A = this chain, B = another copy of it.
Amino acid sequence: MQNIKVFLNEDEMPRQWYNIAADFARPMPPPVGPDGKPLTPEMLAPVFPMNLIEQEMSTQRWIDIPDEVLQLLWQWRPSPLMRAYRLEQALKTPAKIYYKNEGYSPPGSHKPNTAIPQAYYNKKFGIKRLATETGAGQWGSALAMACKMIGLECTVYMVRISFDQKPFRKIMMQTWGAECLPSPSDRTATGRRILAEDPNTPGSLGIAISEAIEDTVHSKNTRYSLGSVLNHVCLHQTIIGLEAKKQMAKIGAYPDVVIGCAGGGSNFAGLAFPFVSDKMAGRNQLRFIAVEPAACPKMTRGKFVYDSGDVAMMTPLLPMYSLGHAFVPKPIHAGGLRYHGMAPLVSHLLREKLIEARAVQQLECYRAALLWAHTEGYIPAPETAHAIAVAIQEANRAKEEGKERTILLNWSGHGLMDLSGYDAYLQGKLRDYVLPEQDLQASLASIADLPKPPALV
């Protein structure tokens, strides 16, 4: 009989988040305004509560997790560390494959790890309502749940095409009491202007972000909430890696390679950062792979630049790998990986060559996801399938090299709300896609006039 899962006792549970910014040998460039001048906390105050702005800018290594937040996270945490024995057997690999199963949370992904603390800090700051945007709905549903449990109202601007075509995430948000609007909506000036121009627009994440921010700055007691990219979001997700370290230590294991998919970067960050800390402290052989879709290759083909987080440039300029904020990826089923930029913290690690990035094609991901479902049982989210595909690549390499290798991946969520993608794959309707170089260059050219981040010294 093989031990498949590792849990933690209550006294072993992490009580602090790990802030990787404290350990950088060279500091990250700061976020700046359109004039290239560093942002001050006050400039963010209309959008975020000051307690979260402090976290966003903090370089303190450990930050206490409030008891009220822990109490809610414990509803499904610690997520089990699991060993994928049956996948290993199917691959005939000498590698050991471990994964953190983040699919046990109520909405089925890692997103509540930051939704709960974000709702908590806003509530504590006296805020009554959060506004946010969502694409396929994974983030919107997590924030809806968090707001209901903490006691805030919640308004979600959901990209119209998803709102119409994927009604189930919308119903999930409504079940948790959130107001879910198709974006563009008639609630904001931005939405009304776009609807006037094109009443049948499918909407976009860029539009939805603009609407949520406009709603925020024009409403009383309202703040904006983002599900990835930002420093405090990555911070909250480190509970995954902190648990994983303790769980692996319990069975005398340690990874050789840590893998996560990366859309905005927070689920990769959450698992990887506590281990990157070991690498920065001298464990030089340790490897990290952030996996992105070939259709949205910001880390492998984008540039390290100052760029805006949204199409309408309502956010500050962030130092990050980007394809240009006007980039529109081809529709792939991993909706959570279709963002044009990468979290500044993750971007900094990539620039410092502490981590690697790898792009994979959609069909390889679905093949990997199916093998996973057939061996481990759980059906992964299409985003998660990207991490699985690279874990399989690494396991096969271990086999070729005849080396035992310990692989740790972030199984960021289940795919039970994403079955239409599986259907399209099984019916042979999906295709791989290579982004043409001229399209990439055209998108990057559109941000050529923005301020440039300083060179690494």
Q: Assess whether B74 is in contact with A5, with CB atoms less than 8 Å apart.
A: yes
Contact A145 B423 (CB under 8 A): no
Q: Is the CB of A374 within 8 A of B149?
A: yes
Cβ contact of A419, chosen from B10, B104, B168, B419, cutoff 8 A:
B168
A376: chain B residues at CB < 8 Å are 75
A367 within 8 A of B: no
A175–B106 CB distance below 8 A: no
How far apart are the CA atoms of A167 and B10 in the complex, in Å? 41
Contact B419 A172 (CB under 8 A): yes
Name the B residues within 8 Å of A2 (CB-CB): 71
Query: Do A3 and B10 contact each other (CB < 8 Å), given the known contacts A106-B377, A175-B370?
Result: yes
A149 and B419 alpha carbons, distance in the complex (Å)? 19
| Complex interface: chain B residues within 8 A of A417 (CB) | 416
Query: Bound complex: CA of A96 vs CA of B76, how far in Å?
Result: 19
Q: Quick one: which of A135-177 are within 8 Å of B by CB?
A: 145, 148-149, 167-168, 171-172, 174-177
| A176–B423 CB distance below 8 A | no
A434 at the interface (CB under 8 A from B): no
Interface residue tally for chain A (C-beta within 8 Å): 46
A301 at the B interface (CB under 8 A): no
A379 contacts partner chain B, Cβ-Cβ < 8 Å: yes
Among candidates B67, B108, B149, B172, residue contacting A86 with C-beta atoms closer than 8 Å: B149
Q: Does A354 contact B (CB under 8 A)?
A: no
Which of B71, B75, B108 is in CB contact (< 8 Å) with A416? B108
CA distance A1 to B67 in the complex (A): 7
Cα separation A416 to B414 with both chains bound (whole Å): 11
> Which positions 381-434 of chain A face chain B at CB distance < 8 Å?
416-417, 419-420, 422-423, 426
Q: Are A4 and B74 in contact (CB under 8 A)?
A: yes
CA separation between A177 and B371, bound complex, in Å? Answer: 11
Most buried by B among A86, A105, A168: A168
* One of B3, B370, B420 near A171 (C-beta < 8 A): B420
Chain B nearest CB: distance from A120 CB in Å? Answer: 14
A378 at the B interface (CB under 8 A): yes
Residue of B nearest to A67 (CB): B1
Report if A7 contacts B (CB, 8 A): yes
Do the beta carbons of B75 and A149 come within 8 Å of each other? no
Closest 9 A/B residue pairs (Cβ): A106-B377, A171-B419, A171-B423, A106-B378, A168-B419, A175-B422, A148-B374, A4-B74, A416-B416
Q: A106-B377, A167-B423, A175-B370 are in contact. List 17 more A-B contacts (CB 8 A).
A: A1-B70, A1-B71, A2-B71, A7-B7, A76-B377, A104-B104, A108-B416, A148-B374, A171-B419, A171-B420, A171-B423, A172-B416, A172-B419, A175-B422, A177-B374, A416-B416, A416-B417
